[in-house]
Structure 1
Amino acid sequence: MKGMILIMDGLGDRPLKDLNGMTPLQAAKTPNMDKMAEKGINGLMDSIKPGIIPGSDTAHISILGYDPYEIYTGRGPFEASGVGVDILPGDIAFRCNFSTADSNKIITDRRAGRIRDGTKDIINTLNGMIIEGYEDVKIIFKESTGHRAVLVLRSEGHESLSDAVSDADPKNEGKPPKTVFPTDDTKEAVRTADILNKIVDTSYEMIKDHPVNQEREKNGEPPANIIVPRGAGAVPEVESINEKYNLNSLCIAETGLIMGIGRFAGMDIIEVEGATGGTDTNLDNIIDEIVKHATGNEYNFLLINIDGADEAGHDGSFEEKLEFIEKVDKIVIKKLLEIEDCYIILTADHSTPISRMDHTADPVPIIINGPEVRIDNVKEFNEIEAHKGGLCRIRGSDVMDILMDLMNNSSKFGA
């Protein structure tokens, strides 16, 4: 038997006045998700535990059966690995945003208008960066999808670096990048914080007049003229998921972060052409890859991540979120229903309510479809109906154990 977990990033939400007290998932027309609910067993899931607000990274780590409190050092290493940077022990990695700053270095757009093109050219310029006084620190930038990028610091001298540093991201427009400070009193942390502050300032000077940004300004688009790092982390040690559960596993994801988690877990990675991580992503290409590998013989476990609902939630657009949910239902879920001999789990990693424009700890709906599943009486897939299902309320850390048991891939505990 095969198993698949499809995670719709940020799918969960809260009731909205604009939708007559419904969530976007409730309000959306989702006949195929509803059919999955009717054919499966349903419930609610806290990806970490009740009341804990998950990041996409810690949520996925938990759902894959790892303890995020043990292996999570920060988002940066996963993001860096996901975009193909070979990070080494001792490296410190960060996720970054291409952002827009005015002449006073006030951030006017944290995501540079959700830039899609030209970031590779900007990164090529930034990779020539050398910080005076820190010539022994190699500075490695790499573009990811959209407005995302990564930064890796590698000490090539005798002095080490530290991930005990704060973020530069101000979180909101109208503020300058935050001054990075050490979060412990080690000289390594002090050194790393100083380097980061200089990198932020230097990035602005290096790329504010870049040809890509000149063209964007000419077209009335926000320039990607400053790099804002966050999510510092040292390289973690992660047990291979293939060894942990006796699997041949594949990850199909849109963002560097989730691909990086897959790589650390020892999964093969498929990068899908046209997968942007936004509501404009190419869902046809994504489902073609899913079906190809779910019906082939090479893999018996697939992790899928589709990100657009999360982007719409962060943007506070219930119209975009509802529309994207309906697109996934029509293009992706419809074809998933045709796959046989596979246990398919549909869920989210966390809620990203329109009213909050950020993650919350609200539990998310979950369905399991497949042979011999105990079908319950739930007929619709949404946050409200799910609690009536036979799964009741579970944690993310339960998912792989449940799936492995259904796949007859578990061992008995005890005599």
Structure 2
Amino acid sequence: MKGIVFIMDGLGDRPLKELNNQTPLQAANTPNLDKMAKKGINGIMDSIKPGIRPGSDTAHISILGYDPNIVYTGRGPFEACGVGIDIFPGDIAFRCNFSTVNDEFIVTDRRAGRIRDNTSSIISKLNEMKIEEYEDIEIVFKESTGHRAVLVLRGEGLSDKVSDADPKIEGKPPKIVVAKDDSAEAKKTADLLNKIVKKSYELIKNHPINLNRVEKNEPPANIIIPRGAGAVPDVEPLNSKYSLNSACIAETGLIMGIARFAGMEIIEVDGATGGVDTNLDNIVDTIMDNVKNSDYDFFLVNIDGADEAGHDGNYKEKLEFIEKVDDIVVSKLLELKDTIIILTADHSTPISVMDHSADPVPIMINGSDIRVDGVNKFNEIDATKGGLLRIRGSDVMDIILDLMGKSPKFGA
């Protein structure tokens, strides 16, 4: 028996007037998700606990059975590991956005028009960066998917106790990074980051890629804005923790980084962008091939497009992406034999909020010998009537291990 935890990132939502007071998932035409719900057991899930607004990072950490209050030091290290940077104790890592600022240093696009191509060329220029006052600190940049990137600082006297440079909204300058405590290390790191932000603009504003984007009336990726500082955490490998042979199929550096920290193998997919334009055919072919033909017995799968549409406040895009996943991916998952599938989200990303919320997400379990509960549709409302009731993300691994026949007996 194999197991899949399939995460549709940011799937959950709230009712919208434009959709007759339905959520995008309720309004979408999803015959395969509904068929899976009808064949399985359903419920709702708080990835951390009720009322806590989770990040994708803390949600996935919890769903994989780790305590985010212990493991999570910040998002940066997971992003860095996810894009293949070797990081070591003492390193401080940050997730970054390629962003756009105007001549007055005001952010006009936090994601540089969701740039997709040629960011590696811009990164090459950024890796020439030297900050005179901090020549002893190694500065390493690496591109991730789309508008995302990673920054790692390596050297003596650094701290992750610093704020973000991301203003979170357009129309403001990058935030001044400040120390979160009174330590000399935090003050040094904050000062260095402020210099890095300014230096990045000087280095890449006239990069040929950006000049070309300006000519085409596209937002240039003319600045790098770091956030999510974190020190390198120490975690027990998933395989030894649960006696599994595990792999991860994901699109973004963040999720791949979490999986790498957990000791999972990473299976990359051509054309996986992390957006609504991702190549779903390649993703589902990769899932099916590995479930059927590889020695892995547990898979974490993450598809990110619904979250991107939620952050953009685009309900049509979110609805259409859900329908595409249903048609292209879920239809094939229904063909799998001897496989337990838990399908859920890591969090809600409501269109009306354009960010994560604490709303619980629907969850369903499909596979042989599952107690069927009578729910006929997969969405945030119908799921509340299911036999799984309301669980937390930290319950997921225990449940799937039991259904896979891998759960150790507790007691005599």
Normalising by the residue count of structure 1, what TM-score does the alignment of the two structures yield? 0.99
Cα distance in 1, alignment partners of residues 139 and 245 from structure 2: 35
Cα distance in 1, alignment partners of residues 281 and 227 from structure 2: 33
Q: Which residue of 2 aligns with 1:168?
A: 165
User: Which one of 267, 272, 275 corresponds to residue 270 of structure 1?
Assistant: 267
Q: Which runs of 5+ in 1 are unaligned?
A: none
User: Which one of 374, 393, 396 corresponds to residue 396 of structure 1?
Assistant: 393
Cα distance in 1, alignment partners of residues 80 and 104 from structure 2: 30
User: Which one of 313, 324, 328 corresponds to residue 321 of structure 2?
Assistant: 324
Cα distance in 2, alignment partners of residues 209 and 43 from structure 1: 52
| 1:84-124 alpha-carbon deviations (Å, 9 max, x no partner) | 00001100000000000001110000000000011000000
Cα distance in 2, alignment partners of residues 270 and 153 from structure 1: 27
Q: Is residue 178 of structure 2 the alignment partner of residue 181 of structure 1?
A: yes
| Code of the aligned partner of 2:101 | A
Q: Which residue of 2 aligns with 1:98?
A: 98
* Secondary structure in 2 matching 1:3: strand
Q: Is residue 379 of structure 2 the alignment partner of residue 375 of structure 1?
A: no
User: Which one of 345, 355, 358 corresponds to residue 361 of structure 1?
Assistant: 358
Once the 2 structures are TM-superposed, how far is the Cα of residue 413 of structure 1 from its aligned partner?
A: 1.0
Once the 2 structures are TM-superposed, how far is the Cα of residue 210 of structure 1 from its aligned partner?
A: 0.3
* Secondary structure in 2 matching 1:133: helix
Cα distance in 2, alignment partners of residues 16 and 22 from structure 1: 6
Cα distance in 2, alignment partners of residues 297 and 349 from structure 1: 26
| 1:123-159 alpha-carbon deviations (Å, 9 max, x no partner) | 000001010110000000000000000000000xxx3
Q: Which residue of 2 aligns with 1:204?
A: 201
Cα distance in 2, alignment partners of residues 252 and 352 from structure 1: 21
Cα distance in 1, alignment partners of residues 360 and 26 from structure 2: 15
Cα distance in 1, alignment partners of residues 366 and 280 from structure 2: 21
Q: Which runs of 5+ in 2 are unaligned?
A: none
Normalising by the residue count of structure 2, what TM-score does the alignment of the two structures yield? 1.00
* Secondary structure in 1 matching 2:342: strand
Alignment: residue pair count: 412
| Code of the aligned partner of 2:21 | G
The percent identity for this pair of structures is 73
1:162-311 alignment runs, 5 A limit? 162-311=159-308
User: Which one of 309, 312, 323 corresponds to residue 312 of structure 1?
Assistant: 309
Cα distance in 2, alignment partners of residues 398 and 269 from structure 1: 24
Once the 2 structures are TM-superposed, how far is the Cα of residue 412 of structure 1 from its aligned partner?
A: 1.1
Cα distance in 2, alignment partners of residues 195 and 160 from structure 1: 12
Cα distance in 2, alignment partners of residues 274 and 296 from structure 1: 22
| Code of the aligned partner of 1:135 | E
Q: Is residue 45 of structure 2 the alignment partner of residue 45 of structure 1?
A: yes
Moved over 4 A (4+): none
Q: Which residue of 2 aligns with 1:83?
A: 83
